[in-house]
Structures are given as C-alpha cells and as structure tokens.
Amino acid sequence: MPVSHPSDRLKSEIAAEIATRGPIPFARFMELCLYHPTLGYYTRGIGGGGGRDYVTSSGIHRAFGALLARQVEEMWRRGGRPDIFQFVEFGPGEGRFAADFMREATRSPAFAAALRYVLVEASPALQERQRSRLKGRTSIPVSWADEAGLDARAQFTGCLFANEVLDAFPVHRVVGTPEGPREIHVAVRDGEFLETPLPLSGPALERFLAESAIALEPGQEADINLAAPCWIAWTVGLLQRGHVVVVDYGYEAEDLYVPERRRGTLLAYHLHRTHEDFLERPGEQDLTAHLDFTALRRAAESRGARCLGLTTQARFLLALGALDFLPDPSVADGEGAREGIDPVEAIRDREALKELVLPGRMGERFRVLVLGVGDVPRDLAGLSRPWARGEETAATAPLSPPRRSPAEEREN
C-alpha cells in the first residue's frame, strides 16, 4: 500500500485535532503547517531559502553576509574587543549566510579569533545541509544550539541575528465586525478546511489589541503576531551586553493596521508565486505576514534594551559599503574576458546586488531593526546615512515608508 503524501498526513492530523477540540485559531493551524515535529514545512527542510518557493537575501548575493560581518566586527571592536564574542544566527537556512559572514570575518584576524558562531536550527534536514556547507571552510569555532540550550547559558556578550525568521511565526487573524473584533478559526466541513470567525481565543490577544490601539473597521482583517514580541524579549534577556539585529519585512503599527490593508498582509508562497489560499497544501507552502516593528521595539524596551535604529535594508547595506561588491563595469562590457572573467557572470552578479539595495526591490521592502543591550555605541556604521556617513543615523532619522495598497503589497 503506497505511503500517503506528508501533506495528506498533516491534513489528517489537523482534522483530527479539530474533531477533538473544535475549530482551532488560525495561529494554531499555521503553527502545525510550518512547525509540526515531522510534517511541517520548515522542520522537513522545505523552507530555508533554498529556492523552491522563495529566496532570501543571503541566497541572492554574498555581499549580504559579508556586509553584516563588517557591522558585527564594528560592534565587537567598539565594544572593547572582548576575548569571546558570540554571534548567534536564528533560522540559518542553507548556511549560505554563515559561510559568507565567516569568510569576511577572517579578514580581521583579531575579530575572527574572538568570534564564536552559533546556529540555531530546529530542522534536522536543514542542520545537515548547514554542516555539509560549512565543514572545513572556516577556522572559526562553529556550533549548533537550540533555544533550551541558549537558555541554559549564562548571559553573554555578542550579537543575535534573525533574517526572515519572525515573519513566519504563527499569526492570529482578527477581523472587525459591528460587534467588535473576532478571530478567524479553522474548521472542517465535508473533509475540507474552512474559515470561521469566533470570539478571540485568549486574553493575550485582547491585551495586544488594546495596547496597540488597533480598531478594525467591519470586514477589515489584521494579522497579529504575538510570538515575535515574546521572542524579542527573550533574546534581549540572553545578552549581558550586545545587539539584536532583525532583518524582515514589516512596518510601524501606524502603517500596518490601516483600513487600506483590507486583508492584512498574510501571504502563502509556493513555487515562487504568492496567493491567499492559506488552507491549501498544509506543510507544502510557506505562510508569512509583515512584522509590527512598533510591537518589537516595545517588547525590547520592556526588558531594558534600546532601539538603536530602524532603517531599510538598502540604506543599511549601502552604508556598510555594498557598492564595494559591484563588478568593474569594463568586465560587464566584455573587456574582462581577456583576463578570464566571464562577462555574463559579472552582469548576473551586478543584477543580484541591485536586488539587495535598489528601491522597489528587496532593498526597499525589507527593514533592519537594531537593538542595543547594555552600554553599547548608538552610532553604528549601518545606521548612518549612506551618502553622508556620520551626519545622521537611522535612530535620529525615523523611517517613513510610503504606504502601499493591498494590491501593491501582494505584487511584491
């Protein structure tokens, strides 16, 4: 008898849970789809930026990891050059970022000697691919840990980093009604999943709506990520001194929960296409929603951290020297062929770098949030103005991105 597809098995498990406890909040459905211990999208190693459904910044160009290494080296250097400096990467995907980061880090022997690279990866499949990619490629000590292992450590000095991690935390979908907010749950009818609005599933969701002053119009939806602020508060508590850096797409609350975003920001990703069939193909497609950076900052400050800056990925990378990675124009024009340089590859390399930093592409859509714990410098290089470094930082020049219509959001 043929073994059923993992997606079918996961669908059966979710349906069985609904049969036992009744309709479940969409956040629980999303959690099972992405993080089920054996059948989830990420735990099976489908997610991770490998290219089947989407590609992360680290998979587009080596400059992303290299430039972050430059920024972290500055954190270490201006933080007193501690003998041991831990860099913890959450959700390291295929390990490309780690490889590029450590390659650049070795350009500073003193920094490389202090650096301890820690990868936090729950997926056995992805962890194996990371080990294979990094094996024998660096002299920097590399280790893997889980969140429980990090909790068991004493507070340390270093930097915690998450690139496109928090957007995939489960979200509660709330919809406005004349009677007040209701939460979208997932039920089963005739063997198929369907959405149904029910009362809010818990007091934590009620408190978040009140603290953020979210008032939804009838029919307006919002995606509430309760896990991300909790994660931020937890990571801040791991550090004795250092930084937390989050790279992801999102907005401040005043731009995120506006009536123009009628359907919220949740999207499903499958084979490089986005759609809104969230209940289809459980465990076979990515589900993500834009972050609320106001809530993240509030959570960090509640634990004594400071927000050092919120800027775009483009400004952050350009301020760190992204243009250093542009190939010589003469190579792309064909002159480099005489020296054995492939002009086609040079053009591809240039276009990949443009994707990271140009307006209208990932450089504009992604934000970089930098938090400081303890006595750390505020004026980091990545938070300076790319064309006038030192005059102004992102911390003193708040970012006000233009609002997009829901249609434009889904195009991007």
Is a pLDDT exceeding 90 seen at residue 388?
no
Q: Mark out the alpha helices in 189-328 (DSSP H runs).
A: 203-211, 227-238, 253-256, 293-302, 313-319
Q: What is the mean pLDDT of the chain?
A: 89
Instruction: Write out pLDDT tens, residues 26-41.
Output: 999 999 999 999 999 9
286-328: pLDDT as tens digits: 999 999 999 999 999 999 999 999 999 999 999 999 988 887 6
The answer to whether 90 and 166 have CB atoms below 8 angstroms apart is no
State residue 326's pLDDT score: 81
The answer to whether residue 53 scores a pLDDT higher than 90 is no
By percentage, how much of the chain surpasses pLDDT 70? 88
Domains of the chain, start order: 6-328+338-411 (3.40.50.12710)
Those residues with Cβ within 8 angstroms of residue 240's Cβ, 6 or more apart along the chain or in another chain: 154, 155, 156, 157, 373, 374
**From 165-169, 307-311, 356-360, 393-397, the region with the lowest mean pLDDT:** 393-397
Distance, in Å, from the CA atom of 248 to the CA atom of 162, rounded to the nearest integer, reads 8
∠ Cα 45 47 50 (to 5°):
90
